[in-house]
Amino acid sequence: MTVSAPSMGLRLEARTPRTTVETASLQSSPADADARRLVAAMARGDEAAFREFYEGYHRRLFRFALVLGRGDETLAHDTVQAAFVTAAKKLRGVDGEEHLWNWLARVARQQLSKALRQCQRESAVVGMAEPPDCPDAEPDSFLEESLDAALLAMDADERELIEWFYFDKLSHKEIAGRLNATPKSVSSRLERARVKLRSKMARKLSHET
């Protein structure tokens, strides 16, 4: 009897860590649970869930697409819209928030590559300039950091203008109200800022890729 009690205690101690690990593995973060909830609701056709999904990921996906297209905002907008259309049609389940973002980023890459191939076919016909290459080999984190670095290299007022228009989705009129300027002057300043941003991003990516 003096032997059996310690051995039972050892067995109990050996089981406890396994139970703890198994319980922890079943736990997930609120962000993961939210991602699964959104995707499941969208799969059922819930339009409110899709709007929440769009609002939650649009800004980050546009930033990502803007770098993929090396500063071409029209290409970035088209890429983002196509990615969300694809998500509405095909996204049916995810493991968590990281899985959801990786899925979106992969679709954005595919859509942008498709757009660039189309642009290349058109350029062969009409003699357009060669479109920018898509840096497919670079990790997502590097691409997002490249945009941040390019923005930080700009003057503060130019950076603010870019962020208001592209990321906060403010109109020329709304920005003009903030700056006590005219929409026309905002349009001119924005055009200069976007040209500078494209140049800085192209330099950053050409040096690093």
Domains of the chain, earliest start first: 30-136 (1.10.1740.10), 137-209 (1.10.10.10)
Look up residue 100 and give its two tokens. 């959801």
**Quick check: 58 and 108 in contact, CB under 8 A?**
no
**Quick check: 194 and 73 in contact, CB under 8 A?**
yes
Instruction: Provide the pLDDT for residue 207.
Output: 59
**Quick check: 129 and 137 in contact, CB under 8 A?**
no
Look up residue 71 and give its two tokens. 């500063």
Q: Which residues of the chain have pLDDT under 70?
A: 1-28, 119-144, 204-209
Instruction: Provide the pLDDT for residue 127.
Output: 45
Reported pTM: 0.61
Look up residue 3 and give its two tokens. 């032997």
Instruction: Provide the pLDDT for residue 56.
Output: 93
**Quick check: 198 and 156 in contact, CB under 8 A?**
no
